[in-house]
Structure 1
Amino acid sequence: MARSAFIPKVRDHKYHQAVLDRMPRAWGAWPDDEASVNDDQALATFLRRSQKDSFEWPKKTVVFISDPHADAEAFEASLIAAGVIERDGASLCDYELTRFGRKAEIIIGGDCLDKGPSNLDLLRSLAHLYRLKADVTLLAGNHDLRLLMGLLVLEREADTGSQHLFVRMGRKVIPLFREVFDQYLASTRWEEGIPPEEACRDLLFPDSDWFDNFPFFAAGFLTPEGIEREMRKMESKMGSFERHCQNAGLTLRQVYAAAMKCRSLFLKESGEFSWFFRKMKLVRQRGAFLFLHAGLDDHMASLLAKRGVKHANRAFKKNLMTQNLFSFYYSPLANTFRTKYRKADLPLTDRGVKGARKAGIQVLVHGHINQHGGQRISLKNGLVHIEADITLDAHSRKREGLEGHGVGVTLIDRKRGVVGLSGDYPRAKVFKPGRKGRLVGASQ
């Protein structure tokens, strides 16, 4: 079948052509070869359930892009690949919505921050999408919320449960502080009002007895595996955080000054990025599809069944800014953007899957799990998951042996079905059930 039957067209422009040249030129039914990492049982389950009268597709096309991780080039290239925007040149933010882009819902699956190459460029590119009046839903990612927790703890009287949350951000947040310092502080008298180096260390790092106290504080909140994992992470980050700052050319005074500037940029109503956390949602349901960053557990599935998505998003916003940081960050609400279904995470069992189905949820669409072979359909305790994090940012790609920035997007609607586009996979993956329960494009 011709490429254009399933893959959106892009404008005839040299920059657009460069994006197009990186995208697959053919399509295949999902999965399409023996080497595919996809789970045949998951696909068969998805196919069977999508044939039921109760299965609902989104009313308008959903364009899902997850985990751009501070790479605006990858983000905008993915929007171009989806047919959502037209860009007139090589400059970031120099784009307009297409006719299709004005009609589609764009869901950003979280993790806009960290890694690189530029947090601020990504935020400004996303802000431009809002300026164009695009229908955008921004979901919470664990990297995004870690920044918020780290900034909030600087203004609150930190207890054992939260005083480690700044350093817990680790080395991946340091490029943001470097960017903020360079763009907003370097040419100013930033030292005024900033405590000495040792005092900044005390403000940023947890107390010396934190390792002794945290396991007792967290007992009953976290699983034993979760406590052990948290302690291991902090041992590593406590030992390396200051060294990573020094490698980036930052003293702890400069890091503290940049963090306080971030508080102004993100948390003050007049801040350039004050919209970022204000617009953020935890989940978005469209038909039988629930869009979120990571996954569900039994408690959240039950909450969605009993109270619905609107209540979950209200609870997320309320807890985000008003509750104890520890109880929020390790809660079922936060598990939604943190889980990888490990023993350390809150569990999803048959009870939770039944709750999800009661809420009308048949498929989770999420990021959070790097994929090098395009999007993946998996089955977790009987619940279908579409894993759509296809490693976009240039920083991660370099570390993982991939070239340049990534390009990738997942499109979902009744007409197309599910289309997975990735510059790292030779074909577009297409899931489109036929009328008689056969998968369109499947082998005869």
Structure 2
Amino acid sequence: MANIDSSLDQLIPARSFRPGLPDTLPARVTPWPLDLPEPDNDCGTLASDFISSLAEANSLGPWTWPKKPIVFISDVHADAESLLRSLEASGIAHRYGLGLNDFHLTDFGLACQVVIGGDCLDKGPSNLDLLASLKALMDKGADTVLLAGNHDLRLLLGLASLGAKRGSLSAHMFVRMGKKVLPLMKEVFDLHVDPKTDLKHLPDEETCRKQMLPGKKWFKTFPKAAAEHLLPAAIDKELNRLRKKTKTFFQNASDLGLSARELYAAALKCRELFVDPHGDYAWFYQSMKAVHRSGSLLFVHAGIDDHMARQLSKSGPAQINSQFITESRAEPFTFYSGSLANLMRTKYRPVDHPLTEAGVRDLHSCGVRMLVHGHVNRHHGQELSAKQGLLHLEADITLDRHSRESEGLDGIGTGATIIHPDGNILGISCDYPYAKLFNPEHLHLVQRPLT
């Protein structure tokens, strides 16, 4: 073990795990290692890029830190147990039972702010259980900020497209959600649909299928309609995606025990529960924000581009969040392909809205030094990177069981990113042996991997 300072271990929050729950979390703290191998994806950056970007950020003057601790938890993907364990791991909650609501907030939990970084839905064991635990966290008095993720948006926009006039830009938005949304539809059907009444007035199987599919002409009319919104490469990608999804969508639903009529009934009920202002889960989208800023940190689900950077520097986060509420309830495809939704879906690919040095200058000019986000899942805890000179803290640590199993990770994901008012940033994950400590104003950096 190298470069471990035992005095740092006190930064790990006090934990009180439910009896019988194995604690696989780190008990020691180490300065954040920056020269580990480059992440195995196309948008990773070398340590030298990060260090030079950090030097540029520090040259702008002192950082501004949150007035109270912030705990960032992202991409829980319908895994309530992972969320609850992460609340325990960060010292926010003490669990006294197995139930979704069987926890109380600690003194730290009442004093901090919890930022849920988006992608609460899809994939793992139960969407509705996850929402129940999240609502319990809010109802128990936690200062909670809920950010929109791309998976969350896809449900909202897919449901909205069912009730809209079918056109070349919106007719595909429901089936575009693909098989990942089907477990939620199955949950809603089993728990909220009454087959005797909710299916009574629905049309036959084939008509219900047509209500959810874009139609044969869509593949010819979509490219022309989408040309002002997407680059040619992105249009081709969308067409290929839809060809695959339309071929398998109803078979995937059938594999879960849903006929086309039952799926359509579930979708209509889901729209009632989530989109109707008085629905049981209306609070989920009513609480949602696009961005959250605290001091020098900007919290988003995925990333940022030049247009949103300029808008943030001119108008601030409140204006962006107001715009998000309006536009996300308007034409689904136009919104999802635009710069605002790019905050929830970018991976800085060529098909995404670009971030350049000009956008970074706009962010620096309004005091934003670093983005904290999820969306790009990591297998060894949180990572630090730089994009065009902008610092990024990547905090999707692969929490949900579905992703972990498919990506070769054991157990239930647990962890959180804790940002303290003194500038100390602590990354805790069950997949890394130490809690990683980083303070951008104090360059106590590890220059070699830990052994």
Equivalent residue, structure 1, for 2:373: 366
Where do 1:352-363 residues align within 5 Å? Answer: 352-363=359-370
8 Å CA contact 1:111, 1:143 repeated in 2: yes
1:376 match: 383
> Counterparts in 2 of 1:273-312, with a 5 A limit?
273-312=281-320
Task: Give 2:28's aligned amino acid.
Answer: A
Partner of 2:128: 120
| Letter in structure 2 aligned against 1:334 | A
Aligned CA distance change for structure 1 residues 388 and 326 (closer, same or farther; 3 Å): same
Distance 1:425 1:11, change over 3 A: same
Shift of 1:92: 1.8
What residue identity is the alignment partner of 1:41?
Answer: S
Change (3 A) 1:101 1:440: farther
Q: 2:86 aligns with which of 78, 87, 110?
A: 78
Aligned partner of 1:102 in structure 2 is 110
Q: For residues 294 and 77 of structure 1, do their structure 2 counterparts lie closer, same or farther at Cα, with a shift above 3 Å needed?
A: same
- d(CA) in 1 for partners of 2:36, 2:268: 52
- Give the equivalent residue in structure 2 for 1:399: 406
C-alpha contact 1:222 1:330 (8 A) present in aligned 2: yes
Q: Which residue of 1 aligns with 2:162?
A: 154
The structural deviation recorded for 1:46 is 5.9
Q: Is 1:432 aligned to 2:439, yes or no?
A: yes
Q: What is the match of residue 19 of structure 2?
A: 14
Query: What residue identity is the alignment partner of 2:363?
Result: A
Q: Does 1:226 align with 2:217?
A: no
Please give the secondary structure, in 1, of the residue aligned with 2:200. Answer: coil
Give per-residue Cα distances to partners, 1:280-317, cap 9 Å, x unaligned: 00000111110000011111111101111110000000
Report if the CA contact (8 A) 1:229-1:344 is conserved: no
Q: Which structure 1 segments of 5+ residues have no match?
A: none
The equivalent position to 2:345 in structure 1, one of 338, 353, 364, is 338
Distance in 2 (CA, whole Å) between partners of 1:201 and 1:114 is 22
Cα-to-partner distance string for 1:344-366 (whole Å, 9 max, x where unaligned):
11111111111111221110010
User: What SS is found at the alignment partner of 1:354?
Assistant: helix
Query: Is the CA contact 2:96–2:103 (under 8 Å) kept in the aligned structure 1?
Result: yes
Does the 8 Å contact 1:42/1:384 carry over to 2?
no
Cα distance per residue 1:224-282 (max 9 Å; x no partner): 22112111211111111111111111111111000111111112232111100001000
Q: In terms of mean alpha carbon deviation, does 199-208 or 45-54 score higher?
A: 45-54
Read off the aligned partner of 2:254 and give its amino acid letter. Answer: Q
Using the TM superposition, give the Cα deviation of residue 2 of structure 1 relative to its aligned residue in structure 2, in angstroms.
5.0
Q: Which residue of 1 aligns with 2:149?
A: 141
Work out whether 1:177 is the aligned partner of 2:185: yes
Q: CA deviation at 1:410?
A: 0.6
Aligned to 2:100: 92
Corresponding letter in the other structure for 1:280: M
Aligned to 2:203: 195
CA contact (8 A) 1:6 1:416 kept: no
Which of residues 422, 425, 434 in structure 1 aligns to 2:429? Answer: 422
Q: Secondary structure at the match of 1:170?
A: helix
Equivalent residues in 2 for 1:207-286, closer than 5 Å: 207-286=215-294
Secondary structure at 1:327 match in 2:
helix
How far, CA to CA, are the matches of 2:152 and 2:103 in structure 1?
25
Is 1:69 equivalent to 2:86 in the alignment? no
The counterpart of 2:33, out of the listed 31, 35, 40, is 31
- Give the direction of change, closer, same or farther, for the CA distance of 1:345–1:36 in structure 2 (3 Å limit): closer
Measured in 2, the distance between the counterparts of 1:12 and 1:389 equals 22
Distance 1:433 1:2 in 2: 19
Shift of 1:4: 4.0
1:2 and 1:26 in contact (8 A); partners too: no
- Is the 1:41–1:379 contact (alpha carbons within 8 Å) kept by the matching residues of 2? no
Structure 2 unaligned runs (5+)? 1-5, 40-44
Q: CA, structure 1 residues 51+79, in 2 after alignment: closer, same or farther (shift >3 Å)?
A: farther
Contact 2:34 2:384 in 1 (8 A): no
Over 3 Å counting, the alpha-carbon distance change for 1:2 and 1:93 in structure 2 is farther
Aligned letter for 1:102?
Answer: L
Computed over aligned residues only, the root mean square deviation of the Cα atoms, in angstroms, reads 1.9
The answer to whether the 8 Å contact 1:47/1:439 transfers is no
Higher deviation after alignment, 401-410 or 249-258: 401-410
